[in-house]
Chains A and B, each alone.
Chain A
Amino acid sequence: MTTEAGSETEVKEKAEESAAEPDQSEKATEDSQEVANAEVEEKEKAKVKEKEEKEGKGISRYLPTWLKKQKSQSQTSPTKEAPPTEEPVSKVTQEEEGPAPEVNGHAEEVEEKEEVKSEQVKEKEAETHSNASADTEPAKEEKVEESAEKSPEETKETTEGEGAEEETKEKEGAVEAEGEAGEGQTSIFQSPLRLVRKNKMKLVVCHVTLLDGTDFTCEVEKRAKGQYLFFKVCEHLNLLEKDYFGLTYQDNHDQKCWLDPTKEIKRQIRSNNWQFAFNVKFYPPDPSLLTEDITRYLLCLQLREDVASGRLPCSFVTHALLGSYTLQAEIGDYEPDQPRPLDFISQLTFAPNQNKEMEEKILELYKSHRGMTPAQADTQFLENAKKLSMYGVDLHHAKDSEGVDIMLGVCANGLLVYKDRLRINRFAWPKILKISYKRNNFYIKIRPGETEQFESTVGFKLQNHRAAKRLWKVCVENHSFFRLNAPEPPTKARFLTLGSKFRYSGRTQAQTRMASSLIDRPAPSFERTSSKRTSRSLDGAPMISITEAGRESAENGREPHLELHSDSKDHDKTQEEVLKHQASISQLKRSFMEAPPPSPPQPNQWEKRLTSSPATIRLQQQQVSLAEEIASVLFSRQTDIGLYSTAKAACIFPEPPLDAVKTTSSAATTSSAAVCSFSAPQRPLATLSTALSATEVSVPQTEAATADNTTSDTKEPAKTTEVEIEETVVVQEISRAPKPGLVTVAASPPAAPSAEQEMREQEVKVQEEAVVVEEAKPRKEESISSESESEEEAEYHPYLPVSISHTQIPEEKEEEEEQEKQEEDKTAELQVLASDASSLPAEVIQPAEETSREEEESRKEDDTETEETEKTTNAEEEKEVERETEESTDDPMVTPDEAPNGLTLPEEGVTVIDAHAEEEEEPKMNGEPSLIEAEPLPQVICCSEPPVVKTEMVTISDTFAAQKTEIATKEVPIVHTETKTITYEAAQLDGNGDGEPGVLMTAQTITSESLCTTTTTHITKTLKGGLSETRIEKRIVITGDCDIDHDQALAQAIKEAKEQHPDMSVTRVVVHKETELAEED
C-alpha cells in the first residue's frame, strides 16, 4: 500500500537512478508484503517489524531534517540488517548471496519456474528478513513525499527519517547516504529470483586492477554489493584466504576508500567510474602463518608495490634485499648466460629512488639466492618486509591540537602518531577505550594508566570530515580484525545500540586463521609474473613469466587448467561457507556494537584536549566543564524465566551533590541540570539522563514520551539545529557473552555549543527498570538498534566485554574508583533526601556561598556518580534512599519505557504502565503537572519545576571534596547555579527479594564523551536467587548554553534509552538540573 506509492515517488525523486531499480524495489516490496499479509505467521514478524520501526523512530523524530539523513543511513546500514536476521537471516543471506554470482554470470538464463519455487521457500525462511528489510526499507523511501498522508503508525517514524534522507540526498547529492540507505534493500534486490523476473537487471562492467598490475573485468549487477565483486575477484585469483584483502576505489576527492562489502557498490563509488583495485587490507603481522603460498604471493605483490612507491620506506640495503628476492621469486635462478642482466633489472622498479648502485646490489644478492624456489623467495621477502617499521601501517594526515602536521598510523597493534618520520606516540589497542570522530575531529579515549586515575581523550584534526570518517573506519576495522577473537554467537545477547555504526563486517584474523587451517586443497598453481607494476614495458618479461609458469606447474605436478577447475569447485563451496560464516559473524559483531549517539563536548574543551606530544596528550577527563547537563539512565532487566516485574512508582528527590542556589521558575535561567531517575528499588535499573532546560522542562519531554507511545511523532520539530549526532560503536573484545549481560549504550541528546564559562549543569538520570519475562525475545531483540549513522561522527569502543563468569578485569580499577565516588554521592543524596522529605515541594534555599571550587567538585562528583551501584551494597543504599523518598514524597512516576515495552513486550509493558497509573499519585510537582500531556499512559518523564529543590549543597560538596584528593580542581568563577533534581521511580509490583543483595556477576562501565554531552553507561549484572538481573544505568551530562533545548535532549535521551532496551523497563529517572542564574541572582 504505502509501499508502492512510495516506490513510485522514489522513482520520481531519484532521477539519477535507473528506472529498473525502483521497479525492482517495488516488486520486491510487493512480494514481501503480499506474503506477509497472506501468512498467518506474519504476526510474529509483524511484531518484529514493529519493533524495527520503532527503532526507526528513535531520535530521528527530534532531529532536524538535515540531521536525519545520517540517521536514516544508519537504519539501512548493515547493523540493522543483521540484527533482525540473526540466524535465519544468515541463512537467507547465504542463499541469496550464493546464487547471486551466478545470476550475474548467466542472469538471463535462470528459469522462472525455479525462481518461483525457490522464492516461496525463501519467502518462508526469510519472512523475518523480508519484513524487516523489504517492507520497512522501501516504505521509508517513499515516504518522503507522502509522509503526511501515511498512516501514522506504521510509517511515521520511518517516514521522517527517510524523508529527511531523501531530501538531503537530493539537495546535497549525498550519494553516500543514499548508498547506505539502499543497503538494506540490497539483499532483496540481489536475490536472483526477483531480479530475473523483472528482467530489468542492469549489468555494469567493473574494472579491477589486480596486484600484478593486470586488469580484471567482470560484469556485476548494478545493485550488487561490494562483496559480490570482491568474491568474483577472489575467485578469479583463486584466493581462499581472502580476508586480508579488499577492494578500493577512488572517491570524488581522489581518496582511496575501501569498498564496503556489505553495501551496494553503486552507492559507494559515487560516480560512474566502476574502477577498483584489489589490495591488501590487513597486513598479517606474521606472513609465515598464512596457509597458502598464493596468499603470500599476493601479499608480496602488494608489498613490492608499497616498497616501490615509497609507501613502505626502507633502507638501501633492504631495498636491495627485497629486490633480490623479488627477482628470485619472479624469474627464478639467476642465469649466468643472460645478457646484460643489469639492463633487465634497471627496467624494473624496486625503489622510489632506484639507482645503479642499488641495481648492482640487487643483482649481487640475487645471484646468491640461487636454488631458492619462488615460494621460498617470497617467504624470505616477507620475513624481511614484515620487520619494517612501517609494515602494515596505514598513514593518515592529521594535525595535533596545535595545528602541527602529524601522521596517524593505524596498524595491527594500535594507533601510531608520527611527526615527520618520528614516532611521537603510540596507543596500543588495549589502551584505547573509545574511538570516535566528529566532523573533522578524530578522538581516542585512553584507558588510564597505572598511576592515572582518569581516562583521557586525545583529539586530532583531520583535513575534513571524510578523512576523519575514513580514519575512524580503518581503526574500527583494524581493531576488529586484529584484536577480536571469533566469538561464539551470543544467543540472546542483546546489546543496546544507539544509532547504527559502521563496523567491520568480515572475519577477524583469528577466524580467518581458523578457516584457513581447514583449507584442504592441493596448492593451487599460479603464475608468478613479473608484475606489471615493476615492468616498465619489457619485452622480456612475458617470456620470463612463461618460463616461470611452466616451472610452477611442474613443481606441483599438475596441469594448471585442470587444477583450476577443481579448485574453482572447492572454491565455490568454500565461498558459500564463507558467506555463511561471515553472516553469522557479522551478526555477532553487530550485537556487540553500539552506537550511542555521541555527545559532543564543547568545542573549546576539545580544543584543549587536542594534543600531539605524549607529554601533553593526556587530559583529565574528569574536568567537567561548567555548563553541563547530566543525565543518567538505569536500565535493568531480568533474564529469568517467567518473571514479571512491575515497577513501583515512587518519586524521589535525590539531591545532587552540586551546589544549588536558587531556583526560579522563570525562564531566566539558562542552563539546568536535570536528573531523572526511574528506579525500581530492587530491580535492575536503567537510568537515562538528559537535560532539560529550566524553562520548559516538562512539556517537551512529555511529548517525547508520548511519541514513544505511537502518538504523533512528527510534532517534534527538533529545534536543535546545532545538534550533531555521533555514532558510537562499542565493540566487545569478548569471545562470548553467554547471556545478555552487557553492554551499553549512550544516548546523547543534542546540545548546542555553549559558552565556556557558563555554568550549567543538567543532570538527568533516568533509571529504567526493565523486567523481561524469560522469553526475552531471543532474536528479535537483536534488531533493536536505533540506527543513526551520521556522517559526521561516530564512535567505537574497543572493549573487552564481560562474560558472566568473569568479572571484568580491565575496568576494575575504574569501577572501584567510581564506586567510591558513587557511595559518596549516595550519601549526599541521602542527606538531601532527608531534607526533601521534610518539605515536599522541597524548596530549600540555602545561602549561596558557593565557591567555585565546590562547584567544580560537585560536578565531578556528578560525573562519577553516574556509575551507579555495581555492587549490591550500593544498590541497597540507593534503595533506602528511594524508599525514603517514596514515602515522603508523592510524585508522579515516570515510565519512559512504555513505548519500548509496549511494542516489544506488549503484556509486560501494559502491566508496568498500569501499575504506574495506579500507583501514581497526582503529579504534584511544583504544581505544574504539565508533564503528562494527554498521555494515555502516565509517562512523565520529567517535571518542569515541581520538585525543584533549591539548595546549596556547599557542605556536602566540601565533604566530598575532602575525600577526593584526586580531583583536580579547576579554577572556576563563582557562579550562582540552580539545581533541581527530580526523581521518578517506577512502581514495582514485585516485592520479592528486594532486600536480597544478590551476587554481582559482572559490571561494566562505558563512557562516551563528545562535544556537549558525556554519557556514561554502567551495566551491572547481578544474580539474585534464580534471577539474573541486568541493570543499566545511563548518565548523560549535557553541557550547554541557553541554546540547548534541554527538554528535547532529555526526551530524546530517554527515548533512546528505551529503544535501546526495549525489554527493559525504566525504573527510575532522575533529572538533575543545574542552572546558572543570572548575575543579579
Chain B
Amino acid sequence: MAGLMAGYGHYTHAVVRGIPASLAKEALRSSQTEVDLAKAVKEHEAYVEVLRTRLGLEVVELPADESLPDCVFVEDAAVVCGDTALITRPGAESRRGETEAMKGALKDLNLNIVEMTDENATLDGGDVLFTGREFFVGLSKRTNQRGAEILADAFKDYAVSTVPVLDGLHLKSFCSMGGPGLIVIGSSEPAQKALKIMQQMSDHRYDKLTVPDDLAANCIYMNLPSKGHVLLHCTAEEFPESAKVFEKLKDHMLIPVSNLEKVKVDGALTCCSVLINKKANI
C-alpha cells in the first residue's frame, strides 16, 4: 500500500523505440553535425540492453518509424507517474506523430491515459522533471504554459511549478534526478539559475550534485529491488570531469552509458526511455 511518492525510482517497465534511418539526416538538432547512424543504432542497442539485461526491466520496444526521425526519443511523447500516463503534444510539429505508438503501448500496460488535446498546449517530456515530490516543468521552446497546466491537471497530487528554460533545449538538458531528493545540475549559469528557481518554488529541500557539463547532468536514476540505487550516467569518454563527479557517489550502482551519437541530435540519456512502475502502488 504504497502511498504517494513512495518508492521513488522504482521501475518495472521501460518503453523504448528503435532508431529510424531518417534520424541521421532529418532528426531535429540544434547544431549541424553528422550523425553516424550505425554508431547511433549500436549505442542505442547498448542502452536498451542495460535496461533489459543489466537492470532486469521489462522493456517494451516500439518499432522505429521512418516518418518520425526523432521517434527514438520517447521521453518527449509521454509523462508517466504512478499509473497515470499523460500523452503529450510535442512542441515540434514533426514529432506529434510519435505519440500514437506511445499511447498504444502505455494503454497495453494498463495505465490511465490522459491525452493532451488542447491545440494551444505543447509539452515535451524532456521538460518535465519529477522529483518524487513534485513536478517542475520547463517552459521552453517546446513546452508552454498551457501544456504545463494540463500536466498539472493530470497529476493532481503534486505541485507543478514552472521554470523558465532560457538556454538549452529542455529542462532536463541540464538537470535530472540523481536520487531521492538529489538534483543533478549542470554548472552553467542558466542551469544554476534554474536550480535556484526550483529551490525557491519548492516546499522541499533538495540536495544538489553539480557537474561541470550541463549535458552530463542528464542521468537516469532508479531504485531497483535487488540493486538499490542505480545511476546511468555519462561516460568518462564524453565528459571526463563530470564522470569523475558521478564516480564519487558511493551508494549508487554506477553504470556509464555512452551517448556520443544521439547527443548530436540533442538526445540525452533520459530521452530514450519512458520508465514505468507497474504494480506500483495498489
A interface residues with partner B (beta carbon < 8 Å): 313-318, 320-321, 361, 364-365, 368-369, 380, 383-384, 387-390, 413, 419-426, 428, 614-615
Q: How far is the CB of B206 from chain A (nearest CB, A)?
A: 14
Tell me the bound Cα distance from A365 to B2 in angstroms: 11
- A317-B82, A317-B282, A614-B200 in contact; A423/B4 too (CB < 8 A)? no
B162 contacts A424, C-beta separation under 8 Å: yes
A315 contacts B84, C-beta separation under 8 Å: yes
Residue among A314, A384, A388, A423 making CB contact with B161, cutoff 8 Å: A423
B152 contacts A420, C-beta separation under 8 Å: yes
B149 contacts A421, C-beta separation under 8 Å: yes
Point out which of A313, A387, A389, A428 has the most chain B C-beta atoms below 10 A from its C-beta: A389
Q: How far is the CB of A883 from chain B (nearest CB, A)?
A: 48
B186 contacts partner chain A, Cβ-Cβ < 8 Å: no
B200 contacts A421, C-beta separation under 8 Å: no
B158 contacts A389, C-beta separation under 8 Å: yes
B84 contacts A421, C-beta separation under 8 Å: no
- A318-B4, A387-B3 in contact; A425/B201 too (CB < 8 A)? yes
- A389-B158, A420-B152 in contact; A426/B200 too (CB < 8 A)? yes
B202 contacts partner chain A, Cβ-Cβ < 8 Å: yes
B145 contacts partner chain A, Cβ-Cβ < 8 Å: yes
A426 contacts B4, C-beta separation under 8 Å: no
Q: How far is the CB of A595 from chain B (nearest CB, A)?
A: 30
- A316-B112, A389-B134 in contact; A423/B3 too (CB < 8 A)? no
B3 contacts A383, C-beta separation under 8 Å: yes
Residue among A387, A421, A425, A615 making CB contact with B152, cutoff 8 Å: A421
Which residues of the partner chain A approach B1 to less than 8 Å between Cβ atoms? 321, 365, 368-369, 380
A423 contacts B159, C-beta separation under 8 Å: yes
What mask results when residues 108 to 139 of chain B are scored 1 for a CB within 8 Å of chain A, else 0? 00001000000000000000000001100100
A314 contacts B152, C-beta separation under 8 Å: no
B202 contacts A387, C-beta separation under 8 Å: no
Tell me the bound Cα distance from A380 to B149 in angstroms: 29
Residue among B4, B5, B82, B148 making CB contact with A422, cutoff 8 Å: B148
Residue among B148, B202, B282 making CB contact with A321, cutoff 8 Å: B282
Q: How far is the CB of B278 from chain A (nearest CB, A)?
A: 13
B160 contacts A422, C-beta separation under 8 Å: yes
Which residues of the partner chain B approach A321 to less than 8 Å between Cβ atoms? 1, 3, 281-282
Residue among B134, B156, B160, B197 making CB contact with A315, cutoff 8 Å: B156
Q: Which residue of A lies closest to B156 (CB)?
A: A313
Tell me the bound Cα distance from A994 to B145 in angstroms: 63
B5 contacts A387, C-beta separation under 8 Å: yes
Which residues of the partner chain B approach A320 to less than 8 Å between Cβ atoms? 282
Which residues of the partner chain B approach A421 to less than 8 Å between Cβ atoms? 149, 152-153, 156, 160
Residue among B155, B203, B282 making CB contact with A426, cutoff 8 Å: B203
B159 contacts A389, C-beta separation under 8 Å: yes
B164 contacts partner chain A, Cβ-Cβ < 8 Å: yes
B145 contacts A422, C-beta separation under 8 Å: yes
A315 contacts B157, C-beta separation under 8 Å: yes
Which residues of the partner chain A approach B84 to less than 8 Å between Cβ atoms? 315-317
A422 contacts B162, C-beta separation under 8 Å: yes
Which residues of the partner chain B approach A369 to less than 8 Å between Cβ atoms? 1
B213 contacts partner chain A, Cβ-Cβ < 8 Å: no
Residue among A365, A420, A614 making CB contact with B149, cutoff 8 Å: A420
Q: Which residue of B lies closest to A427 (CB)?
A: B200
Q: How far is the CB of A360 from chain B (nearest CB, A)?
A: 12
Some 17 contacts from A to B, beta carbons below 8 A apart, are: A315-B82, A315-B84, A315-B155, A315-B156, A317-B82, A317-B83, A318-B156, A320-B282, A369-B1, A384-B3, A388-B4, A420-B149, A421-B156, A422-B145, A422-B152, A423-B159, A426-B200
Tell me the bound Cα distance from A373 to B153 in angstroms: 34
B201 contacts A426, C-beta separation under 8 Å: yes
Which residues of the partner chain A approach B161 to less than 8 Å between Cβ atoms? 422-424, 426
Tell me the bound Cα distance from A455 to B203 in angstroms: 22
Which residues of the partner chain B approach A314 to less than 8 Å between Cβ atoms? 156-157
B interface residues with partner A (beta carbon < 8 Å): 1, 3-5, 82-84, 112, 133-134, 137, 145, 148-149, 152-153, 155-162, 164, 197, 200-203, 281-282
A387 contacts B145, C-beta separation under 8 Å: no
A615 contacts B164, C-beta separation under 8 Å: yes
Which residues of the partner chain A approach B82 to less than 8 Å between Cβ atoms? 315, 317
Tell me the bound Cα distance from A314 to B1 in angstroms: 17
Tell me the bound Cα distance from A383 to B156 in angstroms: 17
Q: How far is the CB of B155 from chain A (nearest CB, A)?
A: 6
Which residues of the partner chain A approach B200 to less than 8 Å between Cβ atoms? 425-426, 428, 614
Tell me the bound Cα distance from A419 to B157 in angstroms: 17
Tell me the bound Cα distance from A390 to B153 in angstroms: 13
Residue among B145, B153, B201, B281 making CB contact with A423, cutoff 8 Å: B201
A422 contacts B149, C-beta separation under 8 Å: yes
Which residues of the partner chain A approach B83 to less than 8 Å between Cβ atoms? 317
Q: How far is the CB of A170 from chain B (nearest CB, A)?
A: 47
- A422-B145, A423-B162 in contact; A388/B157 too (CB < 8 A)? yes
- A387-B4, A614-B200 in contact; A423/B160 too (CB < 8 A)? yes
Which residues of the partner chain A approach B152 to less than 8 Å between Cβ atoms? 420-422
| Known A387-B4, A422-B137; 10 more pairs at CB < 8 Å | A313-B156, A368-B1, A369-B1, A380-B1, A380-B3, A387-B3, A413-B203, A421-B153, A426-B161, A426-B200
Which residues of the partner chain A approach B134 to less than 8 Å between Cβ atoms? 389
- A316-B84, A383-B3, A423-B162 in contact; A389/B157 too (CB < 8 A)? yes
Which residues of the partner chain B approach A361 to less than 8 Å between Cβ atoms? 282
Tell me the bound Cα distance from A315 to B5 in angstroms: 13
Tell me the bound Cα distance from A419 to B164 in angstroms: 15
Tell me the bound Cα distance from A423 to B139 in angstroms: 13
Tell me the bound Cα distance from A291 to B203 in angstroms: 25
Tell me the bound Cα distance from A912 to B174 in angstroms: 67
Point out which of B5, B133, B161 has the most chain A C-beta atoms below 10 A from its C-beta: B161
Tell me the bound Cα distance from A313 to B5 in angstroms: 16
Tell me the bound Cα distance from A387 to B164 in angstroms: 25
Q: How far is the CB of B229 from chain A (nearest CB, A)?
A: 22
Tell me the bound Cα distance from A387 to B4 in angstroms: 7
Which residues of the partner chain B approach A389 to less than 8 Å between Cβ atoms? 134, 157-160
Which residues of the partner chain B approach A383 to less than 8 Å between Cβ atoms? 3
Residue among B153, B162, B281 making CB contact with A317, cutoff 8 Å: B281
Tell me the bound Cα distance from A899 to B32 in angstroms: 80
Which residues of the partner chain A approach B3 to less than 8 Å between Cβ atoms? 321, 380, 383-384, 387
A387 contacts B157, C-beta separation under 8 Å: yes
Tell me the bound Cα distance from A384 to B5 in angstroms: 9
B197 contacts A614, C-beta separation under 8 Å: yes
Q: Which residue of B lies closest to A421 (CB)?
A: B152
Q: Which residue of A lies closest to B162 (CB)?
A: A422
Tell me the bound Cα distance from A878 to B120 in angstroms: 63
Tell me the bound Cα distance from A960 to B279 in angstroms: 68
B281 contacts A426, C-beta separation under 8 Å: no
Q: Which residue of A lies closest to B82 (CB)?
A: A317
Tell me the bound Cα distance from A614 to B200 in angstroms: 10
Tell me the bound Cα distance from A804 to B236 in angstroms: 55
Q: How far is the CB of B152 from chain A (nearest CB, A)?
A: 4
Tell me the bound Cα distance from A369 to B159 in angstroms: 28
6 smallest beta-carbon distances between A and B, as pairs:
A389-B159, A421-B152, A423-B161, A313-B156, A384-B3, A387-B4
Tell me the bound Cα distance from A313 to B161 in angstroms: 16
Which residues of the partner chain B approach A390 to less than 8 Å between Cβ atoms? 159
Q: Which residue of B lies closest to A361 (CB)?
A: B282
Q: How far is the CB of A392 from chain B (nearest CB, A)?
A: 10
Q: How far is the CB of B214 from chain A (nearest CB, A)?
A: 21
Which residues of the partner chain A approach B112 to less than 8 Å between Cβ atoms? 316
Which residues of the partner chain B approach A615 to less than 8 Å between Cβ atoms? 164
Q: How far is the CB of B151 from chain A (nearest CB, A)?
A: 9
Q: Which residue of A lies closest to B134 (CB)?
A: A389
B201 contacts A384, C-beta separation under 8 Å: no
Tell me the bound Cα distance from A318 to B156 in angstroms: 9
Q: How far is the CB of B209 from chain A (nearest CB, A)?
A: 20
Residue among A315, A388, A422, A426 making CB contact with B202, cutoff 8 Å: A426
B4 contacts A384, C-beta separation under 8 Å: yes
Which residues of the partner chain B approach A380 to less than 8 Å between Cβ atoms? 1, 3
